A and B are shown apart, each in its own frame.
Chain A
Amino acid sequence: MTKKMESALVFWVFLLPVLVAFIMVMVIPFILGSYYAFTNWTSSARVDSVLRFVGFENFINSLKDPSFLYSFGITFLYTILNMIVINIVAFVLALLVTGDLKFKNVYRVGFFLPNLIGGIILGYIWQFIFNNALPSLGSIISAFDFLSDPANLMLSKPNTAIAAMIIVGTWQYAGYIMMIYVAAIENIPQELIEASRMDGATPWIRLKSITIPLCAQAFTVTMFLTLVNSFKQFDVNVSLTSGGPSTMLMGQPIFGTELLALNIYNTAFISNKLSEAQARAFIFFLILAIISIIQVNVNKKKEIEL
């Protein structure tokens, strides 16, 4: 056996296990799924059954469905707000735990902890808090009396239920994003900070002209990370609100907190419209692809600037 043949053989043998798994669960389903979005695919159908090509029918039907349009809007709202709140909270936490504190590591671990627990479990914990613990707080402390009124339950109205999801989302991710900021802040050269102290810079000026500019790289990372994670949110949505409470749009009752990922799932399993769910998933994929392309370009630009 020649050297060349041996390396070719080793190349394929080494790639084989991941390629088999990758083709089985990603490549084939992705190709099938992109195709099914343009057909009348139903749940009973298998890969080999006859499919009729229907063009953009599934996409048009989706865009006519108020529940999908609402879901779209609410997902964007949730994503933007969640991104902003998480990053602000995480940055403040990072500033605190890199400061002159006694039990820095204990605090860091505490803030990070929710991130290790699955979203589905976190959602149930907070469902209990919003539905039971907060009303009880209202009946104990008279200043918070309004909390015990059933009409004021956060999960009972769409607007406050979205706010509730942002609270849980922040609790879930802020510690993780904080760790990324902590790494960035600790990378700032100590001389720079000493020099600014000598020059008599106040903590506020130090923050504005040293810490924040030198964390710019981290900001891009965390912005996109929280953007994509919020956009894909599913677990907390299922266990905290299951999409409820219902509301009205264009004369139709719809779920008030149903994010896109849950809308896709429900279209398939509750409405039994599998090919339409596939079309929605295709749109979902396109949006994420656009975000990723923007991210790559932003990172490239940043690298050039540096």
Chain B
Amino acid sequence: MKSSKIRRPSSFLAEILTIILFVLFLFPFFLVLINSAKTSFEVTQYPLAWPKKWETIVDNIIKIWTSESVCYPSSLLSSAIITAVSLILINVFSAMAGWALVRTKTKVSSFIFFIFVASMVIPFQIVMFPLLSWFRTVTVATGIRLLRTYQGIILSYVGFGAPLSIFMFHGFIKSIPLELEEAATIDGCHRHQIFFRIIFPILKPIQATVLVLNGIWIWNDYLLPLLVLGKGNDVMTVPLAVSNFAGAFVKQWDLILTAILMAMIPVIVFFLFAQKYIVKGMVAGAIK
């Protein structure tokens, strides 16, 4: 008790050091903000100066909002659709699969689980080129378009996100007592009803972790959308849009930084609301 009232000089020094590091860590974001409120000339001449006219930020935001190469409104919408739909599917399907794998004790079941776990080692690099040619082949054979479409990229995210998510659900479901399900069976519940009415609601904490881990990955992902959606497509994610813009308008830092600012705002706002879950989820995900 005493130590929290009377502060030792060492903790005062620690506070100062932390504040310096804190400012240093956030300074890049601050630079993005002040330089979004400058003209192209001001940015290159005085990147560290306080903006002369904050109104410039509005002009820059309007320029990015209406820019043909960023397509900010539609990129934001596409990113939101891809992330939301992929998350819902990963969450429900992986929970179902995790439960089926825990509650069915056969050789096939353990083999499938082993394959899922082993596949977590596989880097995206070894599957990315064949994935593209395989998607093209599927389209030729069935007429279902997978490249440059929502269904293709969402299918990819479900497939790539499933192993880790199943692994996490599997670990959690193992700890749920079987008696709970047996009681429901006696009451006349079918197997699938047991899952959706009893098990799925119990999984809430682990669902939060699965949603956070996959959500941050999918929202920020660059390489998979670059390959599956491609450049110059109607369906474009925010990271893809920013990199397109930065590539096309080299050195137009006033606009590039405004685009970056606008790409960061949704994430930061979301984080401030769901901060507790995000930090918990990411730490839990790492330790598992």
Chain A residues near B (Cβ < 8 Å)? 6-8, 10-11, 13-15, 17-19, 21-30, 32-34, 36, 45-48, 93, 96-97, 99-102, 106-121, 124-126, 128-129, 132-133, 136-137, 140, 171, 175-176, 179-180, 183, 203, 221-222, 225, 232, 234-235, 238-239, 261, 264-265, 268, 274, 277-278, 281-282, 284-285, 288-289, 292
Could you tell me if B25 and A133 are in contact, using CB atoms closer than 8 angstroms? no
- Which residues does chain A contribute within 8 Å of B18, judged by CB atoms? 96-97, 101, 107
* Contacts A24-B155, A116-B216; A221 near B282 (Cβ below 8 A): no
Interface: B119 (CB within 8 A): yes
Write the nearest CB–CB distance from B227 to chain A, whole angstroms: 9
Q: Closest residue of chain A to B24, judged by CB?
A: A171
* Contacts A47-B137, A96-B14, A100-B11; A10 near B22 (Cβ below 8 A): no
Q: Which of B17, B97, B160, B283 contacts A179 (CB 8 A)?
A: B283
Interface: B65 (CB within 8 A): no
Could you tell me if B282 and A176 are in contact, using CB atoms closer than 8 angstroms? yes
Write the nearest CB–CB distance from A198 to chain B, whole angstroms: 13
Could you tell me if A111 and B22 are in contact, using CB atoms closer than 8 angstroms? yes
Could you tell me if B94 and A118 are in contact, using CB atoms closer than 8 angstroms? no
Could you tell me if A15 and B100 are in contact, using CB atoms closer than 8 angstroms? yes
Could you tell me if B246 and A124 are in contact, using CB atoms closer than 8 angstroms? yes
Q: Closest residue of chain B to A128, judged by CB?
A: B253
- Which residues does chain A contribute within 8 Å of B242, judged by CB atoms? 120-121, 124
Interface: B221 (CB within 8 A): yes
Could you tell me if B25 and A125 are in contact, using CB atoms closer than 8 angstroms? no
A30 and B122 alpha carbons, distance in the complex (Å) = 8
Interface: B80 (CB within 8 A): no
Classify chain B: how many residues form its interface, as a range: 35 or more
- Which residues does chain A contribute within 8 Å of B101, judged by CB atoms? 15
Interface: B26 (CB within 8 A): yes
Complex interface: stretch among B55-63, B70-78, B123-131, B202-210: B123-131
Q: Which of A6, A26, A117, A203 contacts B127 (CB 8 A)?
A: A26
A33 and B130 alpha carbons, distance in the complex (Å) = 6
Can you sample 28 A-B contacts with CB below 8 Å?
A11-B100, A14-B97, A15-B101, A17-B89, A19-B112, A22-B116, A25-B131, A29-B128, A29-B130, A33-B130, A34-B126, A96-B14, A96-B21, A101-B14, A102-B15, A113-B25, A116-B271, A116-B278, A118-B220, A120-B222, A128-B253, A132-B47, A136-B47, A175-B25, A179-B279, A261-B125, A278-B126, A285-B123
Could you tell me if A25 and B159 are in contact, using CB atoms closer than 8 angstroms? yes
In B6-53, the 8 Å CB interface with A consists of 7-8, 10-11, 14-15, 17-18, 21-22, 25-26, 28-29, 31-32, 35, 43-44, 46-48
Could you tell me if B14 and A99 are in contact, using CB atoms closer than 8 angstroms? yes
A116 and B217 alpha carbons, distance in the complex (Å) = 9
A109 and B18 alpha carbons, distance in the complex (Å) = 13
- Which residues does chain B contribute within 8 Å of A48, judged by CB atoms? 137
A99 and B257 alpha carbons, distance in the complex (Å) = 36
Q: Closest residue of chain B to A114, judged by CB?
A: B25
In B147-185, the 8 Å CB interface with A consists of 155-156, 158-160, 162-163, 166
Write the nearest CB–CB distance from A119 to chain B, whole angstroms: 7
Could you tell me if A239 and B48 are in contact, using CB atoms closer than 8 angstroms? no
Interface SS of B by simple majority: helix
Could you tell me if B123 and A288 are in contact, using CB atoms closer than 8 angstroms? yes
Q: Closest residue of chain B to A235, judged by CB?
A: B222
Q: Closest residue of chain B to A93, judged by CB?
A: B21
Q: Which of A18, A171, A261, A288 contacts B28 (CB 8 A)?
A: A171
- Which residues does chain A contribute within 8 Å of B21, judged by CB atoms? 93, 96, 111
Interface: B67 (CB within 8 A): no
Could you tell me if A113 and B162 are in contact, using CB atoms closer than 8 angstroms? no
A238 and B268 alpha carbons, distance in the complex (Å) = 23
Could you tell me if B137 and A180 are in contact, using CB atoms closer than 8 angstroms? no
Q: Which of B97, B131, B264 contacts A117 (CB 8 A)?
A: B264
In B176-229, the 8 Å CB interface with A consists of 190-192, 195, 216, 219-223
Could you tell me if A32 and B278 are in contact, using CB atoms closer than 8 angstroms? no
Could you tell me if A110 and B282 are in contact, using CB atoms closer than 8 angstroms? no
